[in-house]
Chains A and B, each alone.
Chain A
Amino acid sequence: MANVKQLRVNGASVKIDAHPERSLLSVLRDDLDLTGAKYGCGEGQCGACTVLVAGRAVRSCITSVGEVAAKEITTIEGLAKNGRLHPVQQAFLDDDALQCGYCTPGMVLAAVALLEKTPNPTQQQIVSAMQGNICRCGTYPRIARAITKASRSAV
């Protein structure tokens, strides 16, 4: 299989030269210096590596770069527009929905994907959608509140 030479990331085309079976996570972090997506477990269990592919939340640690070569990828670095935070980012800040912050990029993107699909989620829908993201510091109630708050603010 030929190397992947280009990716669509945060609305722009970027040049890479990556073996197609490399994880999307490693390409983002090591080749593109987009370190917002994190390594937490390497097996899709913790969600720290979550990015959006065509608007859907995806575990980049178990997604090969070859699979996403032609798709629109959004990382945490691409959320804020012209210095303005996305409502989910702003809500996380306002509600202190983080402690060590390591899970935060993955949580924010998973929440963005949820709100795209379900603009006014119930608590149960939030829990189901976010169940794949671990916060060891235990800020789940705050994150859930932040997501609800973000769902109520105009985008």
Chain B
Amino acid sequence: MNLEPERYEFLEPPLYRFELDRRDFFKALGLGVLIVVTRPADAQRRDMPDEIGAWLHIGEDGVVSVYTGKAEMGQNIRTSLAQGVSEELRVPLESIRMIMADTDLVPYDAGTFGSRSTPYMAPQLRKAAVAARELLLQRAAEQWKVDPASVTVAAGKVSHAASKRSATYAELAHGQKLMKAISGESAAPPTGASAPKVNGRDFVTGRHKYTSDLRLPGMLYGKVLRPPAFGAKLASVDKQSAEAIAGATVVHDGDFAGVAAPDELTAERALSALRAQWKQSPAEGSNATLYDDLRRTAENSESVHSAGSVEQGTAAAAHRLKQTYRVAYIAHCPLEPRAALAQWTGGKLTVWTGSQRPFGVRSELAKAFQLDEKQVRVIIPDTGSGYGGKHSGEAAIEAARLARAAGKPVKLLWTREEEFTWAYFRPAGVIDVSAAISKDGTLSAWEFHNYNSGASGIRTLYNIPNQKIEFHRSESPLRQGSYRALAATANHFARESAMDEAAHLAGMDPLEFRRRNLEDARLLAVLNTVAEEFGWPGAKPAGIACGFEKGGYVASCAEVDVDRSSGKVKVTRIVTAFECGAVVNPEHLRNQIEGAVIMGIGGALFEAIEFENGTIRNAGFSGYRVPRFADTPVLGTVLVDRKDLPSAGAGETPIVCVAPAIGNAIFRASGVRLRSLPLLPKGVLPHT
């Protein structure tokens, strides 16, 4: 799989060879029907064997179980993945057992990121269900000695109308080892019915156990001693006082120091009792110098795309635009902070943790403790969100280290401050855009440089003959990595703000300017749809933006109220049109779009990590503002359902047009052009 350059937190994904052994499978899962879905490995590596994507099992009890390495963290794939299976197997949705993200039980999966579950995992599972249905149908036809074409499947039963015979899946699976390996290429499109969250009741009653809710007998609570600043190294630790506390286990191992105790209060006391000496290293960087630093430390550029000659395209231009846009570091702020529960039994390590990469975390643990991966089991309970921020297994490693020393299970919960400080951020960035506009309003040249933020969404679908698009890696003063939509948010902010500025120079309406420069039918479709739904240009000042990412096409219109005397800005309405091929679950798709838009408001208006001297200055919700009820505008969402196209994912793309639509609206309302995210760090327009 091609990883975007800004996925800094990843190591090379391990390639996994899996030998299909019929006996092992049925021994582990029980007799019955088994479908194994293979998928070709990375298209660029045709020498590698097919990987297994998922398996589906129907037991002698008739229970349908689906095994997938994908993890659930609010994007509702536990429901949408099961929908396809329930539709093709003609059984109720609630009867499907989804076994997800347990490395002992499910096939290898690189991780739940990149909006891949819907386009890749869902068709595999659908196809597996079809294959299972056909196997059962065949079995019945053989048993009854009838033509398979005369056998039908409905409501969990196989029937032969002519002879009035029928059998349940359980009856057909009894004593059988029916197995088929299929390749999960294409599948029938989804029916597109909304289905409620399969285990929703557990969440509204508090029954669902997140990692932080789990307990094991004899469990201890763990805490880690954190450095006073980034780059500080542990020089020495006096453990005496801490060790004297009854029930406390104290660990000092190289750079790591931590404690575990039978209750949290004792653990806190033990942690406070550690006397540590730190070797500080001067940590570079602060908000004040950030953007200059990113530019100054830029390495060789990577040309992402070039066409024609930007110089020539610019020469005869009627208008020229040259601007710089900036985006701050922001934090994911998953409401459930990192947590892990680790247990060593015999030579095996089991860790429950909220992560998007169960196999990635397993690999991290195996390396950290010099174990074979077979000796490590990682289990991901349905988790309290991730947004790309939970790819790494810090808490898992910390809990496991303490558990090994204590000889007891250890539950380790990161505080909110730790989650703000010791995870990774969405990269900050500087983006230079130059554009040349002809007299007729068409773009004749486009040059786009992204420093540090990333290359996702850096290419444009606008029809521009001369282009130069480059990504430059820089030295980041803060740890950075994946975040919902990666750099597509930053690149769309820069591009769609620049497009708006170009339209202004050309004296054209922003919508008309975009249409003039666009031929891509799918992008035009969402652009026109949102304009119509919004009522563009509308009675109040508004901005528009459109884009494309991960197979999804999106366009947003934002409307704002600006009070010129106080500088206060209120976003009153945001309408979004979204097209991702065939829609699987319309209601959950709307939920994702609305959620992404609301999250995007934060990054657009007020979210920013403040740092200096190697510390985060606003490592809590009092200093780092996230969107709340009062920040929610009226939302409109239009789904453009293309049943004729394969389904793409939708967890990320709807976020990308929020910031530029709002920025463009503010310009319309006030004449003030803001080129830095967050647009209103002080909550009001800057004094001009």
Contacts and interface: CB of A to CB of B under 8 A. Distances in A.
Tell me whether chain B's interface is mostly helix, strand or loop, or mixed: loop
Contacts of A119: none
Given A30-B264, A101-B74, A138 B206 contact: no
A41 interface: yes
A131 B204 contact: no
Interface in A25-56: 26, 29-30, 33-43, 45-46, 48
A77 B205 contact: yes
A130 to B, nearest CB: 5
A73 interface: no
Contact of B627 (A26, A40, A79, A138): A138
A126 interface: yes
Number of contact residues on A: which range applies? 35 or more
Nearest to A129: B629
A80 B622 CA distance: 33
A77 to B, nearest CB: 5
B196 A38 contact: no
Interface in B579-631: 587-588, 591-592, 594-599, 620-622, 626-630
A12 B212 CA distance: 25
B76 A138 contact: no
A104 B201 CA distance: 11
Interface string B635-653: 1000000000000000000
B292 to A, nearest CB: 32
Contacts of B75: 99
B356 interface: no
Interface in A85-108: 85, 89, 92-94, 96, 98-105, 108
Nearest to A48: B335
A126 B73 CA distance: 27
Interface string A58-93: 000000000000000001110110000100010011
Nearest to B73: A100
A100 B628 contact: no
A105 B160 CA distance: 49
A135 B591 CA distance: 13
Nearest to B420: A41
B200 A98 contact: yes
A102 B335 contact: yes
Interface string A124-155: 00110011011111111111100000000000
A93 B204 contact: yes
Nearest to B633: A141
B334 interface: yes
Contact of B620 (A41, A89, A105, A143): A41
A19 interface: yes
Interface in B197-235: 197, 200-201, 203-210, 212-213, 215
B335 A134 contact: yes
A96 B588 contact: yes
A22 interface: yes
A19 B208 CA distance: 28
A19 B269 CA distance: 14
Contacts of A131: 628-630
20 contacts: A26-B264, A35-B213, A37-B206, A38-B336, A40-B336, A46-B416, A76-B204, A89-B204, A98-B204, A99-B74, A99-B75, A99-B76, A100-B74, A100-B335, A101-B382, A102-B336, A131-B628, A133-B629, A134-B626, A141-B635
Given A89-B204, A99-B595, A100-B385, 12 more contacts: A26-B264, A46-B621, A76-B206, A80-B205, A89-B205, A96-B196, A96-B591, A130-B629, A131-B630, A137-B599, A140-B632, A141-B594
Interface of A: 19, 22, 26, 29-30, 33-43, 45-46, 48, 75-77, 79-80, 85, 89, 92-94, 96, 98-105, 108, 126-127, 130-131, 133-144
